[in-house]
């Protein structure tokens, strides 16, 4: 879906009210006008769809004791905070980004701010393990990029059509599953069968879930 420039002749008082609505909603005038028109013709723009998805993710996580939804840094990105079960419980950030005009749905970025070389090595080992397990049991075409404490996983569109609410649920579950597996990995660092424990739980979590 492309965008073009249009000239509209509008009443000044109407524009003043639109500007007021835009300020309240943290939007530009153009985006506010587009939203009003899209609502009128019942069309879901990428911005509206992203906002609906993030609002639903926030609702789902509102009662979570371990994960906290953060304000959106942009119209197409939201972040979720969790704590890693490791010494000092360092904070880990999951950034869910949606692509408005792409063959991919979006991506998940995982970041952990640390300079601890041992922790960075453990994170890198987990990312490598997770990538292998996911391609083996869930999505053989999954794309992963990781370097030290940073990890990126591209999201694909579901094969079968799903509602915006359902998609938000699938994205939230994906982050929750990832976070659980990461915690499980760290709780089994000294377990010789730790890799197998993570793989077994992965299979349980992904059973009958759609691929994204």
Residue 130 has pLDDT above 60, yes or no: yes
User: How far apart are the C-alpha atoms of 55 and 61, rounded to whole Å?
Assistant: 10
pLDDT of residue 190: 94
In this structure, are residues 171 and 154 in contact, taking their beta carbons and an 8 Å threshold? Answer: no
Residue 70 has pLDDT above 80, yes or no: yes
CATH of domain 46-206: 3.30.1460
Residue 1 has pLDDT above 60, yes or no: no
Q: What is the pLDDT of residues 27-40, one digit of tens each?
A: 789 888 988 887 88
In this structure, are residues 136 and 125 in contact, taking their beta carbons and an 8 Å threshold? Answer: no
Q: Where are the domains of the chain?
A: 10-43, 46-206
Q: How does residue 26 score in pLDDT terms, banded at 50, 70 and 90? A: confident
In this structure, are residues 113 and 80 in contact, taking their beta carbons and an 8 Å threshold? Answer: no
Q: Angle, to 10 degrees, between the axis of helix 164-187 and the axis of helix 117-137? A: 130
- Strand-pair partners of 93: 81, 111
pLDDT of residue 72: 75
Phi, psi dihedral angles at 196 (to 5 degrees): -65, -35
Which range has the worst mean pLDDT, 71-80, 125-134, 197-206? Answer: 71-80
Q: What is the pLDDT of residues 141-189, one digit of tens each?
A: 999 999 988 999 999 999 988 999 999 999 999 999 999 999 999 999 9
Q: What is the pLDDT of residues 51-68, one digit of tens each?
A: 899 999 999 999 899 999
Q: What is the pLDDT of residues 131-143, one digit of tens each?
A: 999 999 999 999 9
pLDDT of residue 184: 97
Residue 207 has pLDDT above 70, yes or no: yes
Percentage of the chain surpassing pLDDT 70? 99
User: How far apart are the C-alpha atoms of 115 and 111, rounded to whole Å?
Assistant: 12
Token pair in block for residue 150: 């940073």
Q: How does residue 2 score in pLDDT terms, banded at 50, 70 and 90? A: low
What is the residue-wise DSSP string for 60-86? Answer: HHTT-SS-EEEEEEETTEEEEEEE-SS
């Amino acid at each position: 879906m492309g965008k073009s420039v249009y000239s509209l002749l509008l009443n000044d008082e109407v524009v003043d009210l639109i500007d007021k609505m835009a300020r309240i909603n943290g939007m530009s005038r153009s985006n506010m006008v587009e939203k009003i028109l899209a609502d009128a013709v019942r069309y879901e723009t990428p911005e509206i769809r992203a906002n609906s998805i993030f609002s639903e993710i926030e609702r789902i996580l509102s009662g979570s004791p371990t994960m906290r939804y953060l304000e959106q840094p942009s119209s197409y990105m939201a972040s979720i905070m969790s704590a890693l079960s490791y010494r000092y419980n360092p904070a880990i950030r999951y950034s869910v980004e949606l692509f408005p005009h792409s063959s991919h749905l979006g991506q998940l970025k995982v970041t952990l701010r640390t300079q601890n070389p041992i922790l960075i090595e453990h994170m890198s080992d987990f990312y490598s393990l997770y990538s292998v397990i996911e391609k083996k049991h869930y999505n053989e075409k999954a794309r992963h990029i990781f370097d030290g404490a940073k990890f990126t996983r591209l999201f694909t569109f579901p094969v079968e059509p799903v509602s915006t609410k359902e998609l938000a649920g699938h994205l939230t579950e994906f982050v929750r599953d990832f976070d659980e597996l990461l915690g499980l990995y760290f709780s089994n660092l000294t377990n010789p069968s730790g890799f197998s424990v993570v793989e077994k739980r992965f299979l349980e979590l992904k059973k009958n879930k759609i691929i994204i």
